[in-house]
A and B are shown apart, each in its own frame.
Chain A
Amino acid sequence: MKRRGFLAAAGAAFVAGCNKVADSDAGARLLSAAEKWHMGAHRLLTNREALAPEYPRSAVSPFFRGNGSADPQNGDYPRHVEEGFANWQLTVAGLVRNPLALTLDNIRRLPQRTQVTRHDCVEGWSAIGEWTGPQLSLLLDEAQLRPEAQFIVFRCADNLNGQDYYESVDLIDAYHPQTIVAHSLNGEPLPVRNGAPLRMRIERQLGYKHAKYLTAIEAVASLDDIGEGQGGYWEDRAGYQWYAGI
């Protein structure tokens, strides 16, 4: 019992020291720099077009777990569910020459990509699903990005704990061939749990980047003025890494 007390005290002192480092300016800078080093290493070692693994249809998980919002009740969302998303609109705006407003029909008529991929949650679990939708690059090319555009922001219909969900990626992930605006999971329209009627697939990053209940795609030059400036809901709220390929 004494030994456990000693261990606990030593552990607490060590943790207090770590927290002191993390709370200092230099410590905080070091911790966020480490994320950039990983991103740099990944980008150096991995071709920008390199694909995340794709699986045969038979590998699909029997159930696709949903995390975060699973049944949004805020704003117009419940009405859209009742209407079967007949009046859902996706806008592509911001630093573009040709802003778009698309219905689900418009989106289903574009050339489609279907991919069976694995979804990795930051918590640690994984599930495999078959996703279908147009590549984001198609929409961005149609909207004609302005040269100042550096990031693509995804706006979402769900309000979680009082804040609107959003996410963002840089142009490398935005133009990645597997980055699609998915409307189907395993050949069926997306369930509400998994982001109906539209969600992003950012296959080389963790699950929280794959924005659900997608309402708008916005090209921006900087993330500083979006939300609280960290590039995403969980990044703002809890300090999650913006680059979620780690």
Chain B
Amino acid sequence: MTKHVLSTRIWHWLNLLCVVVLFMSGLTISNAHRLLYWGDWGFDRSQAWLEVPRFPDWMTIPGYYSLAVARDWHILMAWPFAVGLLFMWIAMLVNRHFKRDLTTSRREWRPKAIWRDIVEHAKLNFDHGEGKYNFLQKLAYGLVLGLFLPMMVFTGIAISPGMEPTFGWFVDLLGGRQSARSLHFIFAFAILGFFIVHVALVLLSGPIGQMRAMLTGGSTHEA
């Protein structure tokens, strides 16, 4: 059974709370204008690459349509989300959790090894890696911590008009403000995808032990 240090556990649950509030308030913000565009600008269907369905009220914060209240929540939770992520990265680098558990070796990237990992997952055998995590786990956690979550912060900053005078180069890098908005949406759903798979695999791999590990740190002493 995997064990987790205190910083990881605190961040995990704080981040869950932030992501849930940000996602559900984000759905209300999406309902305000259900079209996504590429480039700098766009304001109607003829320019859109995607028309997003209207999300029902039960999925959203505040549970009814209020762009102002949704933005209040989004703007509040952006702080613990972004600061928490920074804290987790620092903690992970300092306590060597990143180097020890999340970095992959070249051997793990061999197609045969990846295929074996997929087969083991299909057989619901999850404890087959060399270290704490198997390859697919490292890949998933790496993507979430290294790409999905940080990109939510960066694309969020990019769509803030007050930040653009300073970070305009970053908005350009993303392909313009409406591209940044589209990417914000895409990464949010990538995180939802991770969340669903993550919860499903926890349920399949012994949810009681997994929950205890993430709440108390696990049954054996953490070295």
Partners in one complex: yes
Identify the interface centre among A120, A203, A238, A240: most chain B CB within 10 Å of its CB.
Answer: A120
Q: How would you classify the secondary structure of chain B's contact residues: helix, strand, loop or mixed? A: helix
Identify which of B69, B71, B72, B166 contacts A45 (C-beta below 8 A): B166
Does B145 interact with chain A (Cβ within 8 Å)? Answer: no
Is B218 part of the binding interface, using a Cβ–Cβ cutoff of 8 Å?
A: no
The residue from B159, B165, B171, B181 contacting A204, defined by CB atoms under 8 A apart: B165
Q: Are A61 and B43 in contact (CB under 8 A)?
A: yes
Give the chain A neighbours of B43 by CB distance below 8 A. 61, 63, 65, 121, 125-127
Which residues does chain B contribute within 8 Å of A34, judged by CB atoms?
72, 75-76, 78-79
- A15-B62, A35-B75, A238-B68 are known contacts. Are A52 and B165 too (CB-CB below 8 A)? yes
- B149 CB, nearest partner CB in chain A, Å: 19
Q: If A126-B42, A205-B161 touch, does A46 touch B33 (CB 8 Å cutoff)?
A: no
A104 to B131, CA, bound (A): 74
Q: Give bound CA distance, A124 to B160, whole Å.
A: 11
Flag if B72 contacts A31 (CB, 8 Å).
Answer: yes
A84, CB-defined interface residue at 8 Å: no
Instruction: Across the A-B interface, give the 4 residue pairs with the lowest CB-CB distance, nearest first.
Output: A245-B162, A50-B165, A124-B33, A34-B76
Contacts of A127 in B (CB 8 A): 41, 43
Which of A18, A22, A46, A50 counts the most chain B CB atoms within 10 A?
A: A18
A162-173, CB under 8 A of B: which get 1 and which 0? 000000000000
Q: CB distance A18 to B62 under 8 Å? A: yes
Point out which of A8, A50, A121 has the most chain B C-beta atoms below 10 A from its C-beta: A50
Q: Smallest distance from the beta carbon of B26 to chain A beta carbons, Å?
A: 11
Residues of A contacting B69 with CB < 8 Å? 22, 239
Q: By the criterion CB–CB under 8 Å, are B67 and A122 in contact?
A: yes
Instruction: Check A101 for interface membership: any CB of B closer than 8 A.
Output: no
What is the 8 Å Cβ interface bit string for chain A, positions 196-216, against chain B (1 contact, 0 not)?
A: 000000011110000000000
Give A121-134 as 1s and 0s: 1 = Cβ < 8 Å from B's Cβ atoms. Answer: 11111111000000
| CB of A55 to closest CB in B, whole Å | 7
A11 at the interface (CB under 8 A from B): yes
* B-contact 0/1 string along A21-54, CB 8 Å cutoff: 0100000001110110111001001110011110
Q: When the two chains form the complex, which single residue of A18, A47, A52, A123 contacts B67, counting CB atoms closer than 8 Å?
A: A123
Asked if A160 lies at the interface with its beta carbon under 8 angstroms from chain B, I say no
Q: Is the CB of A18 within 8 A of B21?
A: yes
**Residue pair B73, A15 in contact (C-beta under 8 Å):** no
Q: Which residues of A contact B207 (CB under 8 A)?
A: none
Which B residues, 144 to 177, have Cβ-Cβ distances below 8 Å to chain A? 159-166, 168, 171, 177
A134-155 at interface with B (beta carbon < 8 Å): none
A238, closest chain B residue (CB): B68
- Closest CB in chain B relative to A61 CB, distance in Å: 5
Q: Do residues B71 and A53 form an inter-chain contact, with CB atoms below 8 A?
A: no
Q: Which of B21, B29, B73, B165 contacts A124 (CB 8 A)?
A: B29
Contact of A121 among B33, B40, B166 (CB under 8 A): B33
- Residues in A with CB closer than 8 Å to B67 are 122-123, 238, 240
For B164, the chain A residues whose CB sits under 8 A away are 52-53, 204
Give the complex CA separation of A11 and B62 in angstroms: 11
Cα A238 to Cα B59 with chains together (Å): 21
